[in-house]
Amino acid sequence: MFNFQSESQYFVPMLQVLVTLGLVPIISYLRYLYLAKAFACPAFPAAKPAIAKHTNNSLKVFMPLTFACLAFGIAVAWQAQSNQSELFNWDNQAGLMVLFFIAALPILYIALKQKQLYAILLQYTDTIRTASLKPIKWYQLLSPSLVLAVVAAQLLFVSTVFYFKQHPFPGFAGYANLLGALLLNGVFITTLFTIYRSNQFKAIKLPEHRQAIKSKLLDVNLVIWLVALLNLSLTLWISGTQWVEYKLLVQSLYLQFVIVTMAYTLTLPASVIKAADQP
């Protein structure tokens, strides 16, 4: 008979490895090439040789890096399954976090190469820039519905902590959970501010396009923030109920979501891509 609790500790890590170390990096690189060919080359014809050289050089590093990370992840998950042990002969939850950080390496590499691509485009950009007649405030770039959802998730988490303070379970950290949420909030607020103040997209001429890119990045980070808070609440409820066997699956799905969303931030809004084909 299939036992979810005993079997999930083996198929969940392998699923995470295949998705985050195999599928997502390859799709991310293909999207990076699409960005170079569908946006950069049409918008900056003079930069085509430099763009081609840049993308070819990036492939020489990306493929070995991705293959090495994927092979390592499969070996770790397979070893745990073969020996009927936890990841790294240590702990499954901590092991999933290690695999998550390894999966982030190819995505961060693509992000670095994309930043370098914008730097190349900037060299072929006219010195005369266009600017919005009325400066856009930071709150105008945020989705009101997402902001409200994040606030609601904050209240839900605080309520969850207070509930389990009255009905504690073994291992419950009490109000220290609120400190963890404050640290999480600080990270996301800093990230949002950094995106708003970023000059990475100076190579993009029209201000409305630069604003569209920043608005997309801000909204994506709000979504990650929202899901992170919901994941914290869900983790507490799972730990405090009879659903503990689903804890590993929930953690893995959350980490997969973060990797997929990180990769999604590397794409440009469709309006910016389409505008590049227009004379």
Residues 73-98 pLDDT 10s: 999 999 988 888 888 878 888 899 99
Q: Which among 110, 96, 106, 107 is positioned nearest to 255, based on CA atoms? A: 96
- The pTM assigned to this predicted structure is 0.82
Q: Which residue has the higher pLDDT, 84 or 17?
A: 17
| 113-122, 161-170, 180-189: segment of lowest average pLDDT | 113-122
Q: Please count the residues of the chain.
A: 279
| Averaged pLDDT, 48-76 | 93
CA distance 162 to 83: 41
Q: 106, 69 in Cβ contact below 8 A?
A: yes
pLDDT at 277 over 60: no
Segment 131-175, tens digit of pLDDT: 554 667 767 788 999 999 999 999 999 999 999 999 888 888 888
Residue 133's pLDDT is 47
- DSSP result, 209-278: HHHHHHHHHHHHHHHHHHHHHHHHHHHHHHHTSS-GGGHHHHHHHHHHHHHHHHHHTTSPPHHHHHHHT-
Q: 255, 16 in Cβ contact below 8 A?
A: yes
Residue 1's pLDDT is 43
Residue 179's pLDDT is 93
Segment 225-234, tens digit of pLDDT: 999 999 999 9
| Averaged pLDDT, 266-270 | 75
Helices and strands of the chain, counted as H and E runs: 10, 0
Kindly report the CA angle at 26 between 112 and 60, in degrees rounded to 5?
60
Name the DSSP letter for residue 22: I
CA distance 37 to 49: 12
Q: How confident is the model at residue 6 (pLDDT cuts 50, 70, 90)?
A: low
